[in-house]
Amino acid sequence: MSENILKVSGLQVAYGGIKAVKGLDLEVNRGELVTLIGANGAGKTTTLKAITGTLPPCRIEGEILYLGQPLRGTQSFRMVQQKLAMVPEGRGVFTRMTIHENLLMGAYTRNDKAGIAADVDKWYAVFPRLKERSAQLAGTLSGGEQQMLAMARALMCHPTLLLLDEPSMGLSPIMVEKIFEVIRDVSRQGITMLLVEQNAKLALQAADRGYVMESGSLIMTGEAARMLDDPRVQAAYLGE
């Protein structure tokens, strides 16, 4: 039987009078790449923030279980220790630290020095641009370069679950390809991921399962390959 890494039940989030999430049920099993797609304002980022406990003050209802335990209210620093990592919308790198320091920060809960050094080298091999600029302040990197760094940093903690919020946003077509290549690679290595994307086609092509969110509610879920063939998904999200 597949092991539940994340189980969200009846999640509701309201900002003041605005209901952003209206009763969402979602599961991610070990080793799966699950994608959550939907239009602007559908409630995708709100859902990820509810999982990571990083929402601004608002009303939250429902249950979020991570490895079978409630996660609600968990602070970010505890998240890393529980090997739950997130690459937020808009990247969130430490702008006043160098690229190298950012990567080491990602591994701060680890103490296997040789393993950390090997991982840094691995990410420099995947993203040579970061290696060339390893001593540069992260805040001076281009948007796409910051996105690469944010992914690499999140993976430095060897997460049990990686949450990605629109990793392709603002990237050139070649960089979008590269980021998705990395996502597929990381997935093949067995890391469990929940991927929020505007690029529904690439996300569904990479994912095992998908969920479609509209105005705070899920309107569809299923195997990603089937969703790609679904005329409703094609019309609304794939521009076909």
Which parts of this chain interact with ligand ATP (CB under 6 A)? 15, 18, 20, 38, 40-46, 56, 89, 198
- Is residue 199 at the binding interface for Mg ion, with CB under 5 A as the rule? no
The piece of 51-59, 86-94, 111-119, 170-178 that touches Mg ion (CB under 5 A) is: 86-94
> With respect to ligand ATP, which residue has the nearer C-beta, 39 or 105?
39
> With respect to Mg ion, which residue has the nearer C-beta, 89 or 101?
89
Instruction: List binders of Mg ion among 132-191 (CB under 5 A).
Output: none
Instruction: List binders of Mg ion among 43-82 (CB under 5 A).
Output: 45
> With respect to ligand ATP, which residue has the nearer C-beta, 20 or 163?
20
**SS3 label, residue 168:** coil
Number of residues this chain uses to bind Mg ion (CB under 5 A):
2
Residue nearest to Mg ion (CB): 45
- Is residue 192 at the binding interface for Mg ion, with CB under 5 A as the rule? no
> With respect to ligand ATP, which residue has the nearer C-beta, 42 or 157?
42
Q: What is the C-alpha separation between 112 and 185, in angstroms, rounded?
A: 23
What does the block give as tokens for 189? 């290595």
Alpha-carbon 88 to chain mean position: 7
Q: How far is the CB of 195 from ligand ATP (least distance, A)?
A: 13
Cβ burial, residue 112 (10 Å; 0-12/13-18/19+):
exposed
How does 141-178 read in b/e, with b if 16+ C-beta sit within 10 Å? beebbbbbbbbbbbbbbbbbbbbbbbbbbebeeebbeb
144-to-49, 232, 239 alpha-carbon distances in Å: 22, 32, 25
Q: How far is the CB of 40 from Mg ion (least distance, A)?
A: 8
Alpha helix stretches (DSSP H) within 6-86: 44-52, 76-81
Q: How far is the CB of 26 from ligand ATP (least distance, A)?
A: 14
Q: Find which of ligand ATP, Mg ion, none residue 42 binds, CB within 5 to 8 Å per kind.
A: ligand ATP
Q: How far is the CB of 170 from ligand ATP (least distance, A)?
A: 12
Q: What is the C-alpha separation between 20 and 46, in angstroms, rounded?
A: 7
Residues across the chain: 240
Amino acid (1-letter code) at residue 43: G
Largest CA distance in the chain: 51
> With respect to ligand ATP, which residue has the nearer C-beta, 123 or 211?
211
> With respect to ligand ATP, which residue has the nearer C-beta, 76 or 109?
76
Binding residues (CB under 5 A) for Mg ion: these are: 45, 89
